[in-house]
């Protein structure tokens, strides 16, 4: 006898029912949609114990024929679909014939229905899809009343899990709320003996429905949106409340006293469609706005949409999804600009800006000759990492181990980093709201004298359109991963046969001792325990320490911070590999030589105007390629392209920190610094100057930030989330501030709340 057998029919039906009806709110949705398909203008829902004890939906629709009672609860029996091709032109909510059948397999169902032309109503009791006894006459109004009792009585695990009836009742309320707002022409009523009970008139007055369900404050601010696209054959309509600033006392009060409303209907069907929500969220978030109410409706040609995706009918698939979403984004962005009188970025303006940017780049550098780091070239190296890291293609994940402390209202100092920050009051660069998780990570920094570097991770997930990871630079496993890259990948390294290298250079020990001996413990404590407030620009940030607000010259801090990483992780960097068309050293020297002719700040590079000097500089670097690659992950290779002279190319650059690709526009300056500033004959000065040059490469500079607020033209990461979620947390945990920062105005105190209180007290007296 074979091992594979057909499942009994009752098991199949019960399994299918569990998929269609996962919660009471699913049953309500299916029954309400049946009522709407029946042409009902009045729908009443009554529940007890969150719908688990009793669940009843009654309507004034056309009712059920007495002859149809036999099949009404049988699976795949329906009056709305005759052949498969009918799915291409579905105009009804239901079509699968599974809702009532599924309900009868997980509950005891009673149906009372009367058609307008019938003398009386008829009722029947159903269990497991079958009519228990012949139908009999009953008293009833025109329409249908379906009652389900003991929901999930035969699925004890699921029923016992739903012990919180209030949560189930809330989900039913949300489901019915969406239908009531979407169909103001239908009267909806909910009775469950709670304060959330409601009833709408069904007179088609949308404002009255919103006022009744969400309050007059919301109803008074609702404005319509509408987009009709002949090209893509869709119509986008909806209602939203007037956007307000996200960082206002009104919005804070709204979050405390009420819930926001969001719904999406596609071809009249209530669905989950996050991709339709994203463009609305992005446009609002980029302007630091929010809305309390948003009801969207998308109508698509019936031949371009597939509604038969899931038994719950909560998902749909439609053609040209990306183009439709992009057109909706552009429309909504223009709508918001017109609403607030903001300038509209027309195509002509965009073209003009593009021409100006191109002209400006031509005056500075022809950086198009420098290849861009691509995820494809990076993945070729990353393939040697464990498969568990493959999810970096969808964005990288940093974790948090700090449990936020709840602020007591009477405390005068904000200490919770999740509370409102100053950057909420200004327009943000485009980014998705991050999410946080908790983890602990191993400290890879050594304890240097009295300086202890805490490695508690407190960062969040980014999703900026790129997936950058630090990695070994060689294919043969001869490169070492930088342990300070802050993702705790030591186990991966050991599995790949790589280990952390230790060096006994006396000069290196001197440089490390200089970092430790010059450390300021007071500044270390200030940074370590401070709270990040916001970024003024890529080179300046604000932090809060105790009751004081400080402004930091962040570029100076990063310059010193990356120098410390370079020294403390000497010879153990990761690296990024450039594309196949790697830049020529000789070309980059020629570029900065030309720059010295137009910019007074770069006169020091005027020596590179001379072709002979460029040849000598290239030869100088060629003599030290092994040193630069072995200790600093700067890989240069002599290549001879077809029909051309043998030239030195740069093929890899260091990776000091996970998720941060430096501004590649500065790559020519790195090359120039390796030529002009490094004394290769003096070991200590050589190590120090090369580390300084690498630190300069990784330091953020405002001139290279793009108009889209990205780190550079060669990196998709936006500078604000980079500082907030990657660089600043690393600085807080690992940076060893030198004593001379106290006198260099790196930390500038702007205000102290105690002093402000004294001023207010004097004013009040």
**Neighbouring C-beta atoms of residue 27, cutoff 10 Å:** 27
Q: How many other CB atoms sit within 10 Å of the CB of residue 543?
A: 22
- C-alpha triplet 617, 623, 628: angle, nearest 5°: 95
In 427-505, alpha helices (H): 490-495
Closest CA to 69 of 115, 27, 131, 119: 131
Answer whether 693's CB lies under 8 Å from 678's CB.
yes
pLDDT at 304: 73
Is the distance from CB of 572 to CB of 631 less than 8 angstroms?
no
Residues 6+ away with beta carbon under 8 Å from 353: 707
* Secondary structure class of 552 (helix, strand, coil): strand
φ and ψ of 756, to 5 deg: -65, -40
DSSP summary character for residue 87: G
pLDDT of residue 166: 80
Note the pLDDT of residue 382.
Answer: 32
Residue 297 host element (H or E): strand 293-300
Q: Is 198 helix (H, G, I), strand (E, B) or coil?
A: strand
Burial class (CB in 10 A: 0-12, 13-18, 19+), 613: middle
Residues 221-236: tens digit of each pLDDT: 899 999 998 888 889 9
Q: Is the dihedral of CA 265, 316, 434, 259 positive or negative?
A: positive
Task: Specify the pLDDT at position 17.
Answer: 57
pLDDT of residue 626: 92
- Give the integer Cα–Cα distance in Å for 582 and 594: 21
CB of 480 closer than 8 Å to CB of 501: yes
DSSP assignments along 686-723, one per residue: HHHHHHHHHHHHHS--GGG--TT-EEETTEEEEHHHHI
Round to whole Å and give the CA distance between 592 and 576: 23
pLDDT score of 186: 94
Task: List all residues 6 or more positions away from 160 whose beta carbon is below 8 Å from its beta carbon.
Answer: none
Q: What are phi and psi of 155, to 5 degrees?
A: -125, 75
Nearest to 731 by CA among 574, 558, 568: 558
pTM score, two decimals? 0.46
Low-confidence ranges of the chain (pLDDT < 70): 1, 11-20, 76, 79-97, 163, 194-196, 246-259, 306-315, 342-499, 580, 642-643, 754-765
Length in residues, the chain: 765
Look-up of token digits 């989950």: 272
Show Cβ contacts of residue 255 under 8 Å, excluding neighbours closer than 6 positions: none
pLDDT at position 96, please? 61
Joined together, the tokens standing for residue 583 give: 């830049």
Closest CA to 171 of 199, 201, 144, 192: 192
Q: What is the pLDDT of residues 677-734, one digit of tens each?
A: 999 999 999 999 999 999 999 999 998 899 888 888 888 888 998 999 889 999 999 9
Contacts of 299 (CB under 8 A, 6+ apart): 234, 235, 236, 237, 266, 267, 268
Q: HSE of 345 in the Cβ direction (CA atoms, 13 Å)?
A: 10
Tell me, rounded to whole angstroms, the distance of Cα 295 from its chain centroid: 22
Task: Check residue 599 and give its pLDDT.
Answer: 81
Adjacent-strand bridge partners of 289: 245
CA 388-392-394 angle, 5° bins: 125
Nearest to residue 63, comparing CAs of 55, 72, 75, 54?
72
Chain-centre distance of CA 121, in angstroms? 54
Nearest to 658 by CA among 444, 485, 436, 442: 485
């Amino acid at each position: 006898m074979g091992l594979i057998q057909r499942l009994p029919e009752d098991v199949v039906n019960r399994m299918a029912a569990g998929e269609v009806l996962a919660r009471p709110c699913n049953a309500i949705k299916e029954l309400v949609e049946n009522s709407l398909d029946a042409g009902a203008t009045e729908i009443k829902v009554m529940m007890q114990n969150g719908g688990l004890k009793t669940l009843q939906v009654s309507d004034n629709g056309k009712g059920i024929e007495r002859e149809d009672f036999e099949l009404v609860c049988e699976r795949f029996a329906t009056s709305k679909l005759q052949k498969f091709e009918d799915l291409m032109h579905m105009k009804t909510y239901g079509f699968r014939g599974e809702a009532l059948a599924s309900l009868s397999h997980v509950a005891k169902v009673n149906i009372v229905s009367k058609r307008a032309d019938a003398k009386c109503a008829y009722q029947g009791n159903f269990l497991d899809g079958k009519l228990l006894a012949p139908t009999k006459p009953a008293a009833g109004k025109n329409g249908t009343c379906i009652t389900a009792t003991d929901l999930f009585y035969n699925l004890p695990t699921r029923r016992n899990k739903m012990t919180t009836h209030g949560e189930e009742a809330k989900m039913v309320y949300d489901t019915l709320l969406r239908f009531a707002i979407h169909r103001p022409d239908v009267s909806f009523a909910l009775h469950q003996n709670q304060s959330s009970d409601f009833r709408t008139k069904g007179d088609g007055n949308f404002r009255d429905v919103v006022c009744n369900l969400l309050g007059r404050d919301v109803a008074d601010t609702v404005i319509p949106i509408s987009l009709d696209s002949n090209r893509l054959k869709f119509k986008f309509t909806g209602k939203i409340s007037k956007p307000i600033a996200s960082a206002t006392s009104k919005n804070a009060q709204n979050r405390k006293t009420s819930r926001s409303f969001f719904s999406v209907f596609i071809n009249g069907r209530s669905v989950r469609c996050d991709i339709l929500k994203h463009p609305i969220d992005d446009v609002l978030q980029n302007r630091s706005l929010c809305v309390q109410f948003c009801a969207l409706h998308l109508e698509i040609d019936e031949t371009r949409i597939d509604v038969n995706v899931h038994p719950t009918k909560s998902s749909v698939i439609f053609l040209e999804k990306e183009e439709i979403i992009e057109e909706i984004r552009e429309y909504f962005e223009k709508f918001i600009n017109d609403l607030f009188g903001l300038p509209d970025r027309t195509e002509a303006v965009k073209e003009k800006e593009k021409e100006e940017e191109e002209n400006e780049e031509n005056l500075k550098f022809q950086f198009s000759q420098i290849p861009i780091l691509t995820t494809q070239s990076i993945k070729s190296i990353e393939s040697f990492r464990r498969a568990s890291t493959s999810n970096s293609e969808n964005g990288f994940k940093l974790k948090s181990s700090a449990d936020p402390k709840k602020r007591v209202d009477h405390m005068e100092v904000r200490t919770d980093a999740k509370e409102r920050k100053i950057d909420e009051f200004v327009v943000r660069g485009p980014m998705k709201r991050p999410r946080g998780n908790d983890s602990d990570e191993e400290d890879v920094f050594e304890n240097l004298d009295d300086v202890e570097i805490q490695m508690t991770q407190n960062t969040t997930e980014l999703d900026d359109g790129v997936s950058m990871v630090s990695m070994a630079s060689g294919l043969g496993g001869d490169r070492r991963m930088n342990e300070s890259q802050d993702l705790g990948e030591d186990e991966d390294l050991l599995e790949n046969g790589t280990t952390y290298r230790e060096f006994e250079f006396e000069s290196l020990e001197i440089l490390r001792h200089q970092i430790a001996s010059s450390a300021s413990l007071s500044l270390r404590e200030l940074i370590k325990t401070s709270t990040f407030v916001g970024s003024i620009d890529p080179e300046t940030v604000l932090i809060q320490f105790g009751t004081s607000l400080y402004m930091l010259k962040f570029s100076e801090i990063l310059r010193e911070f990356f120098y410390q990483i370079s020294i403390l992780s000497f010879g153990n960097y990761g690296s990024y590999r450039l594309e196949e068309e790697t830049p020529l050293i000789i070309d980059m020297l020629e570029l900065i030589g030309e720059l010295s002719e137009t910019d007074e700040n770069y006169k020091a590079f005027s020596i590179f105007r001379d072709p002979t000097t460029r040849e000598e500089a290239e030869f100088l670097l060629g003599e030290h390629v092994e040193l630069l690659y072995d200790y600093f992950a700067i890989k240069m290779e002599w290549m001879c392209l077809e029909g051309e002279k043998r030239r030195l190319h740069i093929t890899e650059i260091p990776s000091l920190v996970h998720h941060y690709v430096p501004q590649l526009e500065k790559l020519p300056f790195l090359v120039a610094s390796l030529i002009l500033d490094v004394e290769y004959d003096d070991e200590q000065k050589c190590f120090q100057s090369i580390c300084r040059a690498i630190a300069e490469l990784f330091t953020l500079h405002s001139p290279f930030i793009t108009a889209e607020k990205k780190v550079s033209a060669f990196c998709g990461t936006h500078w604000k989330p980079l500082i907030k979620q990657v660089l600043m947390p690393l600085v807080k945990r690992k940076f060893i501030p030198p004593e001379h920062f106290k006198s260099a105005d790196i930390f500038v105190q702007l205000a102290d709340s105690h002093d402000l209180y004294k001023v207010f007290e004097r004013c009040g007296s």
